Chain A
């Protein structure tokens, strides 16, 4: 079946540090991959997406590259800010499907 595994949190970083949150997936087809972010007290919102192998999604300084050979979609940011403190969810949607599969979420704390 389809599944998403992401690194456990919390991840605590100092401001301007480099961020990586690992995400790997298992899928029977050729899924689209997503990162959603949930800021404190808010609903999830789409951060970035990639629809096919080698695509790079990017938004707000965050990037993730769809790696079919390693079935991974790791989230990176070169210099985090306090305002990036949130929970990050990796997710997949299989081609022709409707059910997005979410990972367990990784909480990020950024200290000033």
Chain B
């Protein structure tokens, strides 16, 4: 079956612009995660959605970052007024049970 997909695969934007990153999870997976992977670093947790519950936003680094998940499926991560330090690979993962996570290929964001 189809895995987790993310779009775009690459995004180059100018400092100060807003960007939206999209994640399509595996159908039926109730849990969805966003992570940030900076060069040479591990995965930094950003946000977690579980079903219809309120998301856990404890990992969002600033109020410029927000995410939503519509209809318990597709999720969008929005970064407003991008800064150069936002440059990273943004990974989305879904899970049927929060145990094993299935990752998308990521979106590489470059802020110039």
How far is A43 from B33 in the complex, measured between Cα atoms in Å? Answer: 13
CB pair B42 A105 closer than 8 Å:
yes
CB pair B48 A99 closer than 8 Å:
yes
Whether B101 sits at the interface, judged by CB under 8 Å, is: yes
CB pair B4 A43 closer than 8 Å:
yes
CB pair A49 B106 closer than 8 Å:
no
Chain B residues, Cβ within 8 Å of A41? 105
CB pair A93 B43 closer than 8 Å:
no
Q: Which of A77-108 contact B (CB under 8 A)?
A: 89, 93, 97-100, 102-105
Least Cβ–Cβ distance between B8 and chain A, in angstroms = 15
How far is A100 from B33 in the complex, measured between Cα atoms in Å? Answer: 10
- The A interface, classified by DSSP as helix, strand, loop or mixed, is loop
CB pair A98 B103 closer than 8 Å:
no
Contact partner of B105 among A43, A93, A100, CB < 8 A?
A: A43
CB pair A46 B43 closer than 8 Å:
no
Whether A71 sits at the interface, judged by CB under 8 Å, is: no
Q: Which of B66-112 contact A (CB under 8 A)?
A: 91, 93, 98-106
How far is A44 from B89 in the complex, measured between Cα atoms in Å? Answer: 12
Whether A22 sits at the interface, judged by CB under 8 Å, is: no
CB pair A43 B31 closer than 8 Å:
no
How far is A102 from B33 in the complex, measured between Cα atoms in Å? Answer: 13
CB pair A98 B31 closer than 8 Å:
yes
CB pair B101 A103 closer than 8 Å:
no
Chain B residues, Cβ within 8 Å of A26? none
6 additional A-B residue pairs with CB within 8 Å, beyond A32-B99, A43-B3: A43-B4, A43-B91, A43-B106, A44-B91, A44-B93, A97-B98
Contact partner of B103 among A45, A49, A105, CB < 8 A?
A: A45
Least Cβ–Cβ distance between A14 and chain B, in angstroms = 24
0/1 interface trace, chain A 35-64, chain B, CB 8 Å (1 if under)? 010000111111001000000000000000
Chain A residues, Cβ within 8 Å of B100? 34, 46, 49
Contact partner of B48 among A34, A44, A98, CB < 8 A?
A: A98
Contact partner of A43 among B41, B45, B103, CB < 8 A?
A: B103
How far is A99 from B50 in the complex, measured between Cα atoms in Å? Answer: 12
